[in-house]
Protein backbone atom coordinates (compact mmCIF):
# COMPACT_ATOMS: atom_id res chain seq x y z
CA UNK A 1 0.00 0.00 0.00
CA UNK A 2 1.26 3.47 -0.82
CA UNK A 3 -0.16 6.96 -0.97
CA UNK A 4 -0.09 10.18 1.01
CA UNK A 5 -3.64 10.11 2.45
CA UNK A 6 -3.26 7.43 5.12
CA UNK A 7 -5.98 7.93 7.72
CA UNK A 8 -5.90 6.39 11.16
CA UNK A 9 -8.89 4.26 12.08
CA UNK A 10 -9.03 5.95 15.48
CA UNK A 11 -9.76 9.28 13.80
CA UNK A 12 -12.12 7.84 11.19
CA UNK A 13 -14.41 6.21 13.70
CA UNK A 14 -16.36 3.01 13.11
CA UNK A 15 -18.65 4.34 10.38
CA UNK A 16 -16.01 5.97 8.19
CA UNK A 17 -13.50 3.17 8.77
CA UNK A 18 -16.04 0.73 7.35
CA UNK A 19 -16.68 2.99 4.35
CA UNK A 20 -12.97 3.58 3.74
CA UNK A 21 -12.22 -0.14 3.87
CA UNK A 22 -15.12 -0.79 1.48
CA UNK A 23 -13.48 1.47 -1.12
CA UNK A 24 -10.00 0.05 -0.49
CA UNK A 25 -11.20 -3.53 -0.91
CA UNK A 26 -13.37 -2.48 -3.85
CA UNK A 27 -10.32 -1.07 -5.66
CA UNK A 28 -8.30 -4.20 -4.93
CA UNK A 29 -11.06 -6.52 -6.19
CA UNK A 30 -11.70 -4.38 -9.28
CA UNK A 31 -8.02 -4.77 -10.16
CA UNK A 32 -8.17 -8.52 -9.61
CA UNK A 33 -11.44 -9.00 -11.47
CA UNK A 34 -10.41 -7.09 -14.60
CA UNK A 35 -6.66 -7.66 -14.73
CA UNK A 36 -5.65 -10.67 -12.63
CA UNK A 37 -4.00 -11.23 -9.27
CA UNK A 38 -0.70 -9.46 -10.03
CA UNK A 39 -2.51 -6.18 -10.69
CA UNK A 40 -3.60 -6.06 -7.03
CA UNK A 41 -0.11 -4.89 -6.02
CA UNK A 42 -0.91 -1.41 -7.39
CA UNK A 43 -3.72 -0.94 -4.84
CA UNK A 44 -3.03 2.38 -3.13
CA UNK A 45 -4.58 4.74 -0.62
CA UNK A 46 -4.76 7.73 -2.97
CA UNK A 47 -6.37 5.80 -5.83
CA UNK A 48 -9.39 4.93 -3.74
CA UNK A 49 -10.20 8.66 -3.52
CA UNK A 50 -11.56 8.34 -7.08
CA UNK A 51 -14.02 5.71 -5.88
CA UNK A 52 -14.89 7.80 -2.81
CA UNK A 53 -15.61 10.92 -4.88
CA UNK A 54 -17.77 8.99 -7.37
CA UNK A 55 -19.91 7.48 -4.64
CA UNK A 56 -20.14 10.76 -2.71
CA UNK A 57 -21.86 12.36 -5.75
CA UNK A 58 -23.95 9.34 -6.79
CA UNK A 59 -27.63 8.67 -6.23
CA UNK A 60 -27.95 6.33 -3.26
CA UNK A 61 -30.75 4.34 -4.90
CA UNK A 62 -28.26 2.34 -6.98
CA UNK A 63 -26.32 -0.75 -5.91
CA UNK A 64 -23.13 0.80 -4.53
CA UNK A 65 -22.02 -2.19 -2.47
CA UNK A 66 -21.67 -5.94 -2.79
CA UNK A 67 -20.62 -8.62 -0.35
CA UNK A 68 -17.14 -9.96 -1.07
CA UNK A 69 -15.98 -13.41 -0.03
CA UNK A 70 -13.38 -14.19 2.65
CA UNK A 71 -9.93 -12.68 2.13
CA UNK A 72 -6.68 -13.48 4.00
CA UNK A 73 -5.97 -9.75 4.41
CA UNK A 74 -9.29 -9.39 6.26
CA UNK A 75 -8.64 -12.39 8.49
CA UNK A 76 -10.76 -14.63 6.19
CA UNK A 77 -13.86 -12.52 6.82
CA UNK A 78 -16.44 -11.37 4.30
CA UNK A 79 -17.03 -7.65 3.82
CA UNK A 80 -19.23 -5.14 2.06
CA UNK A 81 -17.12 -3.56 -0.69
CA UNK A 82 -17.61 -0.74 -3.19
CA UNK A 83 -18.44 -1.69 -6.75
CA UNK A 84 -19.27 -0.03 -10.03
CA UNK A 85 -17.70 2.51 -12.34
CA UNK A 86 -16.00 4.48 -9.56
CA UNK A 87 -13.93 1.47 -8.50
CA UNK A 88 -13.11 0.65 -12.14
CA UNK A 89 -11.99 4.22 -12.85
CA UNK A 90 -9.82 4.10 -9.70
CA UNK A 91 -8.32 0.83 -10.97
CA UNK A 92 -7.57 2.33 -14.40
CA UNK A 93 -5.87 5.41 -12.93
CA UNK A 94 -3.88 3.28 -10.47
CA UNK A 95 -2.63 0.98 -13.24
CA UNK A 96 -1.53 3.79 -15.54
CA UNK A 97 0.24 5.74 -12.80
CA UNK A 98 1.87 2.59 -11.38
CA UNK A 99 3.10 1.75 -14.87
CA UNK A 100 4.64 5.21 -15.08
CA UNK A 101 6.21 4.84 -11.64
CA UNK A 102 7.85 1.54 -12.61
CA UNK A 103 9.20 3.00 -15.86
CA UNK A 104 10.57 5.96 -13.92
CA UNK A 105 12.39 3.65 -11.49
CA UNK A 106 13.78 1.64 -14.42
CA UNK A 107 15.05 4.84 -16.07
CA UNK A 108 16.72 5.89 -12.80
CA UNK A 109 18.21 2.43 -12.25
CA UNK A 110 16.90 2.24 -8.70
CA UNK A 111 17.87 -0.81 -6.61
CA UNK A 112 17.45 -4.14 -8.37
CA UNK A 113 16.16 -2.34 -11.46
CA UNK A 114 19.75 -1.40 -12.24
CA UNK A 115 20.24 -5.03 -13.34
CA UNK A 116 19.37 -5.56 -16.97
CA UNK A 117 17.28 -8.78 -16.63
CA UNK A 118 15.19 -7.26 -13.81
CA UNK A 119 14.75 -4.03 -15.74
CA UNK A 120 13.53 -5.91 -18.83
CA UNK A 121 10.97 -7.82 -16.75
CA UNK A 122 9.84 -4.60 -15.06
CA UNK A 123 9.35 -2.90 -18.42
CA UNK A 124 7.13 -5.76 -19.60
CA UNK A 125 5.04 -5.56 -16.43
CA UNK A 126 4.75 -1.77 -16.79
CA UNK A 127 3.69 -2.08 -20.42
CA UNK A 128 1.03 -4.63 -19.44
CA UNK A 129 -0.31 -2.38 -16.70
CA UNK A 130 -0.43 0.60 -19.06
CA UNK A 131 -2.44 -1.37 -21.63
CA UNK A 132 -4.76 -2.72 -18.93
CA UNK A 133 -5.36 0.79 -17.61
CA UNK A 134 -6.22 1.96 -21.12
CA UNK A 135 -8.83 -0.81 -21.47
CA UNK A 136 -10.39 -0.12 -18.06
CA UNK A 137 -10.48 3.61 -18.70
CA UNK A 138 -12.19 3.15 -22.05
CA UNK A 139 -14.80 0.91 -20.42
CA UNK A 140 -15.92 3.79 -18.18
CA UNK A 141 -15.56 6.51 -20.80
CA UNK A 142 -12.25 7.91 -19.54
CA UNK A 143 -9.49 8.63 -22.03
CA UNK A 144 -6.27 7.60 -20.30
CA UNK A 145 -4.27 9.35 -23.03
CA UNK A 146 -4.16 12.43 -20.79
CA UNK A 147 -2.41 10.34 -18.13
CA UNK A 148 0.02 8.77 -20.60
CA UNK A 149 0.79 12.17 -22.11
CA UNK A 150 1.45 13.63 -18.67
CA UNK A 151 3.83 10.78 -17.87
CA UNK A 152 5.70 11.20 -21.15
CA UNK A 153 6.07 14.95 -20.64
CA UNK A 154 7.30 14.53 -17.08
CA UNK A 155 10.65 13.04 -18.06
CA UNK A 156 11.37 15.82 -20.55
CA UNK A 157 10.46 18.53 -18.05
CA UNK A 158 12.69 17.00 -15.40
CA UNK A 159 15.58 16.79 -17.87
CA UNK A 160 15.34 20.51 -18.66
CA UNK A 161 14.68 21.68 -15.09
CA UNK A 162 17.47 23.47 -13.30
CA UNK A 163 18.13 26.14 -10.66
CA UNK A 164 15.58 28.90 -11.07
CA UNK A 165 12.97 26.71 -12.78
CA UNK A 166 9.63 27.19 -10.98
CA UNK A 167 8.77 24.06 -9.03
CA UNK A 168 5.21 24.30 -10.38
CA UNK A 169 6.58 23.70 -13.87
CA UNK A 170 7.80 20.31 -12.67
CA UNK A 171 4.54 19.43 -10.92
CA UNK A 172 2.32 20.44 -13.87
CA UNK A 173 2.04 16.99 -15.55
CA UNK A 174 0.94 15.40 -12.28
CA UNK A 175 -1.56 18.19 -11.72
CA UNK A 176 -3.03 17.70 -15.20
CA UNK A 177 -3.40 13.95 -14.75
CA UNK A 178 -5.11 14.09 -11.37
CA UNK A 179 -7.36 16.96 -12.49
CA UNK A 180 -8.68 14.82 -15.35
CA UNK A 181 -9.30 11.83 -13.07
CA UNK A 182 -11.12 13.87 -10.41
CA UNK A 183 -13.27 15.63 -13.01
CA UNK A 184 -14.38 12.35 -14.60
CA UNK A 185 -15.95 11.23 -11.31
CA UNK A 186 -18.59 13.95 -11.91
CA UNK A 187 -19.38 12.41 -15.31
CA UNK A 188 -19.72 8.92 -13.83
CA UNK A 189 -22.00 10.23 -11.06
CA UNK A 190 -24.21 12.10 -13.52
CA UNK A 191 -23.30 15.54 -12.14
CA UNK A 192 -21.43 17.31 -14.95
CA UNK A 193 -21.70 20.62 -13.11
CA UNK A 194 -19.22 19.31 -10.55
CA UNK A 195 -16.50 18.71 -13.15
CA UNK A 196 -15.01 22.23 -12.89
CA UNK A 197 -14.45 22.45 -9.13
CA UNK A 198 -13.39 18.80 -8.98
CA UNK A 199 -10.80 19.42 -11.71
CA UNK A 200 -9.44 22.28 -9.58
CA UNK A 201 -9.36 20.07 -6.48
CA UNK A 202 -7.62 17.32 -8.47
CA UNK A 203 -5.05 19.75 -9.87
CA UNK A 204 -4.10 20.90 -6.39
CA UNK A 205 -4.14 17.32 -5.10
CA UNK A 206 -1.65 16.36 -7.82
CA UNK A 207 0.55 19.30 -6.84
CA UNK A 208 0.52 18.10 -3.24
CA UNK A 209 1.28 14.52 -4.22
CA UNK A 210 4.35 15.65 -6.17
CA UNK A 211 5.57 18.10 -3.53
CA UNK A 212 5.15 15.76 -0.57
CA UNK A 213 6.84 12.91 -2.41
CA UNK A 214 9.79 15.22 -3.10
CA UNK A 215 9.95 16.33 0.55
CA UNK A 216 9.81 12.78 1.92
CA UNK A 217 12.50 11.57 -0.51
CA UNK A 218 14.80 14.60 -0.14
CA UNK A 219 17.21 13.14 2.41
CA UNK A 220 17.49 9.77 0.66
CA UNK A 221 17.87 11.36 -2.77
CA UNK A 222 20.56 13.72 -1.50
CA UNK A 223 22.51 10.85 0.05
CA UNK A 224 22.21 8.73 -3.09
CA UNK A 225 22.82 11.60 -5.49
CA UNK A 226 19.45 10.99 -7.15
CA UNK A 227 17.35 13.62 -8.91
CA UNK A 228 14.91 15.47 -6.68
CA UNK A 229 12.70 18.35 -7.88
CA UNK A 230 13.43 20.50 -4.84
CA UNK A 231 17.19 20.16 -5.18
CA UNK A 232 17.15 20.49 -8.96
CA UNK A 233 15.12 23.70 -8.98
CA UNK A 234 16.67 25.18 -5.84
CA UNK A 235 13.30 25.28 -4.06
CA UNK A 236 13.57 25.63 -0.29
CA UNK A 237 11.54 23.59 2.17
CA UNK A 238 9.90 26.81 3.35
CA UNK A 239 8.66 27.56 -0.17
CA UNK A 240 7.51 23.96 -0.63
CA UNK A 241 5.57 24.22 2.64
CA UNK A 242 3.95 27.47 1.52
CA UNK A 243 2.83 25.90 -1.75
CA UNK A 244 1.55 22.80 0.08
CA UNK A 245 -0.46 24.89 2.54
CA UNK A 246 -1.95 26.92 -0.30
CA UNK A 247 -2.90 23.72 -2.12
CA UNK A 248 -4.65 22.29 0.95
CA UNK A 249 -6.61 25.53 1.33
CA UNK A 250 -7.47 25.51 -2.37
CA UNK A 251 -8.78 21.93 -2.22
CA UNK A 252 -11.06 22.88 0.66
CA UNK A 253 -12.42 25.89 -1.23
CA UNK A 254 -12.95 23.88 -4.42
CA UNK A 255 -14.89 21.16 -2.57
CA UNK A 256 -17.32 23.80 -1.28
CA UNK A 257 -18.47 24.28 -4.86
CA UNK A 258 -19.19 20.57 -5.39
CA UNK A 259 -22.71 19.21 -5.03
CA UNK A 260 -22.43 16.02 -2.99
CA UNK A 261 -25.06 13.47 -2.05
CA UNK A 262 -23.10 12.26 0.98
CA UNK A 263 -19.92 14.31 1.55
CA UNK A 264 -18.77 12.83 4.88
CA UNK A 265 -15.89 10.54 3.90
CA UNK A 266 -14.72 12.69 0.98
CA UNK A 267 -14.61 15.76 3.23
CA UNK A 268 -12.74 13.90 5.96
CA UNK A 269 -10.10 12.55 3.56
CA UNK A 270 -9.59 15.62 1.37
CA UNK A 271 -9.81 18.27 4.09
CA UNK A 272 -8.79 16.76 7.43
CA UNK A 273 -6.42 13.99 6.31
CA UNK A 274 -4.80 16.02 3.53
CA UNK A 275 -3.76 18.61 6.12
CA UNK A 276 -2.32 15.85 8.29
CA UNK A 277 -0.42 14.46 5.29
CA UNK A 278 1.31 17.82 4.86
CA UNK A 279 2.14 18.04 8.57
CA UNK A 280 3.45 14.47 8.53
CA UNK A 281 5.69 15.05 5.49
CA UNK A 282 7.21 18.21 6.99
CA UNK A 283 7.45 16.72 10.47
CA UNK A 284 5.07 19.21 12.06
CA UNK A 285 2.13 17.02 13.07
CA UNK A 286 0.21 19.05 15.68
CA UNK A 287 -0.43 17.45 19.05
CA UNK A 288 -2.66 19.19 21.59
CA UNK A 289 -1.04 20.08 24.89
CA UNK A 290 -3.61 18.00 26.75
CA UNK A 291 -2.61 14.96 24.68
CA UNK A 292 1.16 15.11 24.92
CA UNK A 293 2.55 11.57 25.18
CA UNK A 294 4.00 10.15 28.35
CA UNK A 295 7.66 9.18 28.91
CA UNK A 296 7.54 6.19 26.55
CA UNK A 297 4.87 7.36 24.13
CA UNK A 298 1.85 6.36 26.25
CA UNK A 299 -0.99 8.87 26.51
CA UNK A 300 -0.89 10.65 29.87
CA UNK A 301 -3.26 9.39 32.50
CA UNK A 302 -5.63 11.85 34.09
CA UNK A 303 -5.85 12.60 37.76
CA UNK A 304 -9.11 12.50 39.74
CA UNK A 305 -10.06 16.06 38.64
CA UNK A 306 -8.89 15.93 35.02
CA UNK A 307 -5.34 17.19 35.57
CA UNK A 308 -2.49 15.11 34.11
CA UNK A 309 -1.44 12.53 36.65
CA UNK A 310 2.17 12.56 37.78
CA UNK A 311 4.28 9.77 36.38
CA UNK A 312 6.55 7.37 38.17
CA UNK A 313 10.07 6.49 36.96
CA UNK A 314 8.77 4.11 34.26
CA UNK A 315 5.61 5.99 33.29
CA UNK A 316 3.33 4.37 35.90
CA UNK A 317 0.89 6.70 37.62
CA UNK A 318 2.15 7.56 41.09
CA UNK A 319 0.05 6.73 44.10
CA UNK A 320 -1.95 9.61 45.54
CA UNK A 321 -1.91 10.51 49.20
CA UNK A 322 -5.09 11.07 51.21
CA UNK A 323 -5.15 14.77 50.25
CA UNK A 324 -4.13 14.42 46.59
CA UNK A 325 -0.38 14.74 47.17
CA UNK A 326 2.25 12.19 46.27
CA UNK A 327 3.23 10.15 49.34
CA UNK A 328 6.85 10.53 50.30
CA UNK A 329 9.19 7.58 50.52
CA UNK A 330 10.90 7.71 53.91
CA UNK A 331 13.93 5.98 52.42
CA UNK A 332 14.30 8.27 49.40
CA UNK A 333 16.56 11.32 49.12
CA UNK A 334 19.52 9.89 51.05
CA UNK A 335 17.69 8.19 53.92
CA UNK A 336 18.45 4.80 52.41
CA UNK A 337 21.76 4.65 50.50
CA UNK A 338 20.48 1.77 48.36
CA UNK A 339 17.10 3.22 47.44
CA UNK A 340 16.44 4.36 43.87
CA UNK A 341 14.53 7.38 42.70
CA UNK A 342 11.15 6.98 44.36
CA UNK A 343 10.84 3.24 44.88
CA UNK A 344 10.29 1.72 48.30
CA UNK A 345 13.06 -0.42 49.77
CA UNK A 346 13.54 -3.36 47.49
CA UNK A 347 10.83 -1.88 45.28
CA UNK A 348 10.39 -0.94 41.69
CA UNK A 349 12.52 2.19 41.23
CA UNK A 350 15.09 2.37 38.48
CA UNK A 351 17.89 1.33 40.79
CA UNK A 352 16.12 0.63 44.08
CA UNK A 353 16.60 -2.62 46.00
CA UNK A 354 17.62 -5.47 43.74
CA UNK A 355 15.22 -4.53 40.92
CA UNK A 356 17.93 -2.69 39.02
CA UNK A 357 19.78 -5.95 38.39
CA UNK A 358 16.77 -7.88 37.09
CA UNK A 359 17.34 -10.86 39.37
CA UNK A 360 15.35 -10.38 42.55
CA UNK A 361 13.26 -7.22 42.09
CA UNK A 362 10.13 -6.78 40.03
CA UNK A 363 9.78 -8.97 36.96
CA UNK A 364 12.02 -11.73 35.60
CA UNK A 365 15.51 -11.27 34.23
CA UNK A 366 15.65 -10.28 30.53
CA UNK A 367 15.69 -13.23 28.17
CA UNK A 368 18.39 -13.61 25.50
CA UNK A 369 17.17 -12.74 21.98
CA UNK A 370 15.81 -15.59 19.88
CA UNK A 371 17.51 -16.60 16.66
CA UNK A 372 16.15 -15.71 13.23
CA UNK A 373 13.60 -17.94 11.57
CA UNK A 374 14.46 -19.72 8.37
CA UNK A 375 13.06 -18.51 5.05
CA UNK A 376 10.10 -20.92 4.83
CA UNK A 377 9.24 -20.68 8.52
CA UNK A 378 9.30 -16.90 8.19
CA UNK A 379 7.00 -17.07 5.14
CA UNK A 380 4.53 -19.17 7.11
CA UNK A 381 4.62 -16.75 10.03
CA UNK A 382 4.18 -13.79 7.66
CA UNK A 383 0.96 -15.23 6.23
CA UNK A 384 -0.26 -16.07 9.73
CA UNK A 385 0.27 -12.43 10.77
CA UNK A 386 -1.57 -11.27 7.63
CA UNK A 387 -4.52 -13.61 8.16
CA UNK A 388 -4.91 -12.56 11.80
CA UNK A 389 -4.53 -8.84 10.93
CA UNK A 390 -1.67 -8.47 13.42
CA UNK A 391 0.51 -6.65 10.89
CA UNK A 392 -1.84 -3.68 10.99
CA UNK A 393 -3.84 -3.97 14.22
CA UNK A 394 -1.55 -5.47 16.88
CA UNK A 395 0.08 -3.18 19.43
CA UNK A 396 3.16 -5.35 19.15
CA UNK A 397 4.08 -8.46 17.23
CA UNK A 398 7.19 -10.53 16.52
CA UNK A 399 8.83 -10.04 13.13
CA UNK A 400 8.23 -13.11 10.93
CA UNK A 401 11.92 -13.57 10.08
CA UNK A 402 13.92 -11.42 12.48
CA UNK A 403 11.79 -12.11 15.61
CA UNK A 404 12.29 -8.47 16.56
CA UNK A 405 9.43 -6.69 18.29
CA UNK A 406 7.50 -4.48 15.90
CA UNK A 407 4.41 -2.29 16.13
CA UNK A 408 1.28 -2.59 14.03
CA UNK A 409 0.64 0.04 11.35
CA UNK A 410 -1.97 1.78 13.49
CA UNK A 411 0.70 2.46 16.13
CA UNK A 412 2.61 4.60 13.60
CA UNK A 413 -0.29 6.90 12.86
CA UNK A 414 -0.27 10.53 13.96
CA UNK A 415 -3.56 10.26 15.81
CA UNK A 416 -3.74 12.94 18.48
CA UNK A 417 -7.07 11.90 19.94
CA UNK A 418 -8.87 15.21 19.57
CA UNK A 419 -10.21 17.65 17.02
CA UNK A 420 -9.24 20.97 18.60
CA UNK A 421 -6.29 21.37 16.24
CA UNK A 422 -8.36 20.76 13.12
CA UNK A 423 -8.06 23.65 10.64
CA UNK A 424 -11.43 22.89 9.06
CA UNK A 425 -13.98 25.64 9.39
CA UNK A 426 -16.80 24.05 7.41
CA UNK A 427 -17.64 20.78 9.15
Give the Cα separation of 24 and 20 in Å (integer).
6
Residue 404 confidence (pLDDT):
77
Give the Cα separation of 152 and 154 in Å (integer).
6
- Secondary structure letter of residue 270 according to DSSP: I
213-249 tens-digit pLDDT: 999 999 988 998 888 999 999 999 999 999 999 999 9
Residue 212 contacts residue 222 (beta carbons within 8 Å):
no
Residue 419 confidence (pLDDT):
43
List Cα–Cα distances, 89 to 11, 46, 85, 184, in angstroms. 27, 13, 6, 9
List Cα–Cα distances, 17 to 119, 212, 330, in angstroms. 38, 24, 52
* Gyration radius from the chain CA atoms: 26
Give the Cα separation of 299 and 40 in Å (integer).
37
Helices (H), 284-396: 375-387, 390-393
Q: Shortest CA distance to 113 belongs to which of 260, 218, 33, 226?
A: 226
Give the three-class secondary structure for 17: helix
Residue 62 confidence (pLDDT):
64
Angle at 279 between CA 311 and CA 102, to 5 degrees: 125
Helices (H), 345-418: 375-387, 390-393
Angle at 44 between CA 82 and CA 143, to 5 degrees: 75
Q: Shortest CA distance to 180 belongs to which of 193, 198, 155, 165?
A: 198
Q: Which residues face 81 on adjacent strands?
A: 66
Give the Cα separation of 310 and 352 in Å (integer).
19
Residue 339 confidence (pLDDT):
40
Give the Cα separation of 27 and 21 in Å (integer).
10
Give the Cα separation of 209 and 194 in Å (integer).
22
3-state DSSP of 236-302 = CHHHHHHHHHHHHHHHHHHHCCCCCCCCHHHHHHHHHHHHHHHHHHHCCCCCCHHHCCCCCCCCCCE
Give the Cα separation of 221 and 78 in Å (integer).
42
Q: For 275, phi and psi rounded to 5 degrees? A: -60, -45
Model confidence, pTM: 0.69
Give the Cα separation of 58 and 263 in Å (integer).
11
Q: With a cut of 70, which residues of the chain have pLDDT below it? A: 1, 62, 285-371, 387-395, 407-427
Residue 100 contacts residue 125 (beta carbons within 8 Å):
no
Amino acid sequence: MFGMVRPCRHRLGERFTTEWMAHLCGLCLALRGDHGQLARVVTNYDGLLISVLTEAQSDRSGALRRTAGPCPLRGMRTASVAQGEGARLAAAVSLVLASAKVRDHVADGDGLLARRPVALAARRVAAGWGAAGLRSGSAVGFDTAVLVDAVDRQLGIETLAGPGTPILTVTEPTETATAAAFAHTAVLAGRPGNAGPLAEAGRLFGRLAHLLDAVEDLAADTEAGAWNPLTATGTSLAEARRLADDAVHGVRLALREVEFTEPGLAHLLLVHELRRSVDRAFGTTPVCASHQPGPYGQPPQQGPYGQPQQQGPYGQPQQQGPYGGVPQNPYAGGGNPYAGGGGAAGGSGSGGGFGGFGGFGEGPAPQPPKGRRGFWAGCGMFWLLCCTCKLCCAKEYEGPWSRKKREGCCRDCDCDGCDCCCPCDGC
